[in-house]
Amino acid sequence: MNIDSIHSGIVLDHITAGRAMQIYRYLNLDELDCPVAIIKNVRSGKQGKKDIIKIDAAIDIDLDVLGYIDPGITVNIVRDDKVVGKEKLHLPEKLTNVITCKNPRCITSIEQEIDQVFKLADPARGVYKCAYCEAEKK
């Protein structure tokens, strides 16, 4: 299978196999006009299998969202056919309007206009807590 290499844009590499579509949706990539390639189940030395997303345009990506969904991803920045930057992701300290609190007793269940804010409570376990009611979310 051949997929054209990109001229200037972003390659999301080392995506956990099976998560590419979730990332596609979270980053709203369906709204882009440029070529976007989702490559699933690519053989990988480190991971066995991995997914890759190639975006042929220099767009801004919310690295916090990406870090929350899959902190193992490598973000490669491509300019003029060359990789000019690599970013390793990590779990973000704070997530705003990425996930919603499911606690029916939380104020966010009735107060419509407030942001859904989660804070990283336990980096080792990847646990976030709602900034309002402190309900946990993994």
Partner 1 sequence: MRHLVDITDFSVQEIDDMLRLSEDIIDDRAKYAEAMHGKKLATLFFEPSTRTRLSFEAAMMELGGNVLGFSSSDSSSAAKGESVSDTIRTVGCYADVIAMRHPKEGAPMAAIKHSTVPIINAGDGGHNHPTQTLTDLLTIKREKGRLNDLVVGLCGDLKFGRTVHSLINALARYSGIQFVLISPPELKIPDYIKRMLTDNGFRWREVESLDEVMPDLDVLYMTRVQKERFFNEADYVRLKDSYILTPEKLKQAKKDMIVMHPLPRVNEISVKVDDDPRACYFRQVENGKFVRMALILTLMGEVE
Q: Given the complex with partner 1, which of 85 and 136 has the nearer CB atom?
A: 136
Q: Given the complex with partner 1, which of 44 and 109 has the nearer CB atom?
A: 109
Which residue do the tokens 């699933």 mark?
40
Q: Given the complex with partner 1, which of 93 and 122 has the nearer CB atom?
A: 122
- Interface with partner 1 (CB under 8 A): 103, 105-114, 130-136
Q: Given the complex with partner 1, which of 82 and 105 has the nearer CB atom?
A: 105
Smallest gap from residue 116 Cβ to partner 1 (A): 11
Smallest gap from residue 111 Cβ to partner 1 (A): 5
Q: Which two tokens stand for residue 89?
A: 């992701």
Question: Long-range contacts: 87-90, Cβ < 8 Å, 24+?
Answer: 87/63, 89/63
Smallest gap from residue 120 Cβ to partner 1 (A): 14
Smallest gap from residue 126 Cβ to partner 1 (A): 14
Residues in contact with 6: Cβ distance below 8 Å, sequence separation at least 6, in sequence order: 35, 54, 55, 56, 78
**Dist CA 47 CA 26 (whole Å):** 23
**Dist CA 132 CA 97 (whole Å):** 13
